[in-house]
Structure 1
């Protein structure tokens, strides 16, 4: 009989896959941005755009989810419980796979999935771990 996966180990997998999706979305969105606004001259300029430009604002909640998971996993004073780990997994699931009307984030994500097979693959991997 197979035991159910440990929520903390599952959360680590979710984190890895969320990071991969985030990276693919950043690459994909950069291409679209550069087609519209021209080549971004440097990595520093791109980082500034990622953190300040409204074009990339829809990606920021993923960064926040990753940071929340990282903080929870790194907290040595208050080790993550299975229940708290499952709660974080559920939060990612609810955010990434919403039920109901599509949010601005979801519309942008759907567009990226449609135009970029690397994003579609990373999203499918994340979903399989949720």
Structure 2
């Protein structure tokens, strides 16, 4: 196949690589948001309390969209039945669309923009992910 029309196997491999980086990015975003949250509200006393906050506190709501994207990627990568060839490509496009830092955009775009600005590791992962998603 030509480079402008990647094979289903290469698209699935790319989706696996994006998933791996997306998991690392998601964890870094959670850690970064925890630090800022604790600066505003005080120390979180346990991992259980942190999990409860991540699930239910509005501070962390913007991260839910990334969590849901990871779940959709997992459903495709770990499906027992055959998947539509277009599905991995759609998920790659959704990832690219979702993770657009924008100081004047959606809540996710704004919060992601600020996370990139304050944390060099997140900025590096964003750059790597952007490069990965730009490949065809």
Please report the TM-score for the alignment, with normalisation by the length of structure 2: 0.86
**TM-align CA RMSD:** 1.8
Task: Look up the match of 1:82.
Answer: 85
Which residue, 56, 70, 77 being the options, matches 1:66?
Answer: 70
Cα deviation, residue 80, structure 1: 2.9
Which residue, 99, 111, 115 being the options, matches 2:114?
Answer: 111
Task: Look up the match of 2:125.
Answer: 122
- Structure 2 CA distance, aligned partners of 1:97 and 1:43? 29
How many residues are matched? 127
1:83-98 to structure 2, matched below 5 A, reads 83-97=86-100
- Which runs of 4 or more aligned residues in structure 1 lie more than 6 Å from their structure 2 counterparts after TM superposition? none
CA contact 1:24–1:122 (8 Å) conserved in 2: no
Question: Which one has more relative contact order, counting CA pairs under 8 Å at least 6 apart?
Answer: 1
Q: Gaps spanning 5+ residues in structure 2: where? A: none
Q: Gaps spanning 5+ residues in structure 1: where? A: none
Cα deviation, residue 75, structure 1: 1.1
